[in-house]
Amino acid sequence: MRKTILEADLGDDVFGEDPTVNALQERVASLLGKETAMIVPTGTMANLIAVLGHCERRGCEMILGDMSHIHRYEQGGIAQVGGVHPKTLRNQPDGTFNHNELLEAVRSEDVHFPRTALVCVENTHNMAGGKVLPLHWMDELGAMCKKLNLPIHMDGARLLNAAVALKEPPSRLVRDCTSVSLCLSKGLGAPVGSLLAGPCEFIYRARRLRKVLGGGMRQAGIIAAPGLYALEHVYPRLHQDHEHIQIIAKAVAGCGSPAITCDPEGAHTNILMLNCNMAYITPQQLCQRMEEVTEEEVAVVGERVVAKMAAINLTTVRLVTHINITPEDIKALVAKMVYVIKEMDRPKSA
């Protein structure tokens, strides 16, 4: 992947003249079944540009899940930068929301109300633990939004993980979405970059928005080249990351621990949520413990294992696998995790 950066053919992408960027954009547009695509530095910028592109008039409202990345982790950029009013629907544990609640949320024309201009969904759903949105749910949403004349934007930061899990082409998963964002820098393992795909006329406006946000990059082929490499070489191996998560999930569940639990069946892709019983351990304590190594532990585990995980709320730790995590790493992690879980399960006074 690094070699492709050195060897990339470059040009000025602000003028649309970087051949490597152009090749990546065409590749992604075709993968997603959209007319065209545009490179941006981050998923956050891709989502913000998408929302601004769909919600052009003042007083627009956008409907999205309350646990979505756009709502929770993008600094309220849609309101801060775009003046777009968010209407959240309660995300269910599988990352979906209730279609009837969507129907109720859509505004009628009334002088008191903002105007509903967009619906946004996320696939895989990060806070739901990398869950894949069911295709039938997406199809129903697509039919509903078509009737309502509402565009759908898909935050597809990890869309290819969803496609792999469903064994479907990515274009099928986003068939009814007008626009889609896709990150190169997540499971695909590229150092930087995201794409926004959609109709030509939409992406033309998106290019203007990218420029005003400072996202117009010059020789961006150095970002596009590893992206092209990732689509060719990393995409076909994403299933290994999912298999690794299953190995960890089954090992944790197999401990039958009262302190730390997880749901292997609910782990669809490369993310695993570990639930911490606060009577035993907090998420912060678990993360800290997994980064420490004790001599007693090395005697049992056989090596020094340091694992980085993230505490994401009061009860949950999030764990992600990716291309740099090898089968040997998984074996070592499981040995350490089982050791730590047994340690947690011991009564505190022991």
Ligand X SMILES: Cc1ncc(COP(=O)(O)O)c(C=O)c1O
Per CB under 6 A, 183 contacts ligand X = yes
Residues 187-226, one symbol each (x = binds ligand X by CB under 6 A, - = not), give -------x--------------------------------
Nearer to ligand X by Cβ, of 137 and 339: the residue is 137
Stretch that binds ligand X, among 43-51, 112-120, 229-237, 294-302 (CB under 6 A): 43-51
- Determine, following the binding rule CB under 6 A, whether residue 65 of this chain makes contact with ligand X: no
In the bound state with ligand X, the residue whose beta carbon lies nearer, of 42 and 171, is 42
Q: Could you say which of 34, 43, 234, 323 contacts ligand X (CB under 6 A)?
A: 43
**Residue 244 within binding range of ligand X, rule CB under 6 A:** no
Nearer to ligand X, 193 or 344 (CB): 193
Please provide the size of the chain in residues: 350
Closest approach of Cβ 256 to ligand X, in Å? 31
Restricting to residues 107-126, name those near ligand X by CB under 6 A. 122, 126
SS3 for the chain, per residue? CHHHHHHCCCCCHHHCCCHHHHHHHHHHHHHHCCCEEEEECCHHHHHHHHHHHHCCCCCEEEEEECCCHHHHHCCCHHHHCCCCEEEEECCCCCCCCCHHHHHHHCCCCCCCCCEEEEEEEECCECCCCCECCCHHHHHHHHHHHHHHCCCEEEEECCHHHHHHHHCCCHHHHCCCCCEEEEECCCCCCCCCCEEEEECHHHHHHHHHHHHHCCCCCCCCHHHHHHHHHHHHHHHHHHHHHHHHHHHHHHHHHHCCCCCEECCHHHCCCCEEEEEECCCCCCHHHHHHHHHCCCHHHHHHHCCCCCCCCEECCCCEEEEECCCCCCHHHHHHHHHHHHHHHHHHHCCCCC
> Which of 11, 17, 27, 42 touches ligand X (CB under 6 A)?
42
184 binds ligand X (CB under 6 A): no
Q: To the nearest whole angstrom, how small is the minimum distance from the Cβ of residue 270 to ligand X?
A: 12
Is the Cβ of residue 173 or residue 251 nearer to ligand X in the bound state? 173
Measured from the CB of residue 69, what is the shortest distance to ligand X in angstroms?
4
Nearer to ligand X, 47 or 178 (CB): 47
Residue 290 CB, nearest approach to ligand X (Å):
20
Q: Does 241 bind ligand X (CB under 6 A)?
A: no
Residue 131 φ then ψ, to 5°: -75, 150
Q: List binders of ligand X among 124-163 (CB under 6 A).
A: 126, 155, 157
Under the binding rule (CB under 6 A), the answer on residue 178 touching ligand X is no
Q: Which residues bind ligand X (CB under 6 A)?
A: 42-44, 47, 69, 122, 126, 155, 157, 183, 185, 194
